[in-house]
Amino acid sequence: MQHTTTSGRIAKGLNYTLLILLAASCVLPFLYVISVSLTPISEVIKNNGLVLIPSHMTLTAYREIMQGGRLLDAYQITIFRVVVGTLLNLLFTVLTALPLSRKSLPGRSWFLLFIVFTMLFNGGIIPSYLLVKEIGLLNSEWSLIIPGLINAFYLMIVKSFFEQLPEAIDEAARIDGAGEISILVRIVLPLSLPIIATVGLFYAVWHWNSYFDALLYINNPESQPVQLFLRQILLASVAISGDAAEAADAVNPISVQMASVVVTTLPILVVYPFIQKHFTQGVLVGSIKG
């Protein structure tokens, strides 16, 4: 009995040690990014770029990012894209996935074939740009939303989830006189909150992190989202000379880069804990069956 107890304690100790190491491997990179963004350039150079707890702190990198007030304007555009874009993505994805989940839909297999085809092939960058230009969306926030209204992969996930819902519920609602819109709003959507939260998170993160489409379609600096704005700041950063490096308030390109990571990542880290429950459940129940 004593041997079993000792073995159990050793196993528990090893488990705790492994969990602590895994937690440290996740926390230390965030701590490093935040520390370097607040560290004067002289201290960064003195420690060869490895700073976990700075002895002195400065907000020079954040002031560099926020100068001119353009960061707030870029944030407004990004928030508009994330909120409006995600809502429209969910609306069109749900409205497309629901009929495709009904086996009685005429031509259902052909529609699914066309959708899967877009997952493997696309028109390319130049045709996409010409299309956006012809419909007059250049330099507009809508050019960041309308071309990607429906993601084929997320559509297939939502369709697979709808197929798992009992058909008897729909039949009972139709007997009671409910129409398709009423069934969708009162029955399907309440039962599909986990997968909607999951796909909504995927869409929102994609909108938040995306910058390449803005690089293609947005030429007006006042209409740039935050990712493109910060990218230009990083590209504009230049190497600091040895004499300037000794100044505590000198702008360090590395600190600017880390501050940009903090600015773009913090909102996602704040929102994610509130929808983690739905996200985990939706990944499990909404996975596509083979």
* Pairwise CA distance, residues 236 & 248, whole Å: 20
Is the pLDDT at 268 greater than 80? The verdict is no
Least confident of 40-44, 234-238, 258-262, 279-283: 279-283
Average pLDDT over residues 252-266: 78
Q: Could you report the per-residue pLDDT of 176-187, keeping only the tens digit for each?
A: 777 778 878 788
Q: Is the pTM of this model over 0.85?
A: no
Least confident of 168-172, 213-217, 286-290: 286-290
Q: Could you report the per-residue pLDDT of 270-285, keeping only the tens digit for each?
A: 777 776 666 665 555 5
Least confident of 33-42, 48-57, 70-79: 48-57
Q: Tell me which residue of 255, 238, 239 sits closest to 40, measured CA to CA.
A: 255
Q: Which residues contact 144 (CB under 8 A, 6 or more apart)?
A: 81, 85, 207, 210, 213, 214, 217, 218, 225
pLDDT of residue 93: 94
Cα distances (angstroms) measured from residue 23 to each of 13, 29, 175: 15, 11, 54
Rounded to the nearest integer, the mean pLDDT of the chain is: 79
Fold of 65-285: MetI-like fold (1.10.3720)
Total Cβ atoms within 10 A of residue 283: 15
Q: Could you report the per-residue pLDDT of 91-110, keeping only the tens digit for each?
A: 999 999 988 888 888 888 89
Total Cβ atoms within 10 A of residue 147: 16
Confirm if 231 and 211 have CB atoms less than 8 A apart.
yes
Please provide the DSSP assignment of 214-232 as one string: HHHH---GGG--HHHHHHH
Is the pLDDT at 236 greater than 60? The verdict is yes
Between 171 and 111, the more confident residue is: 111
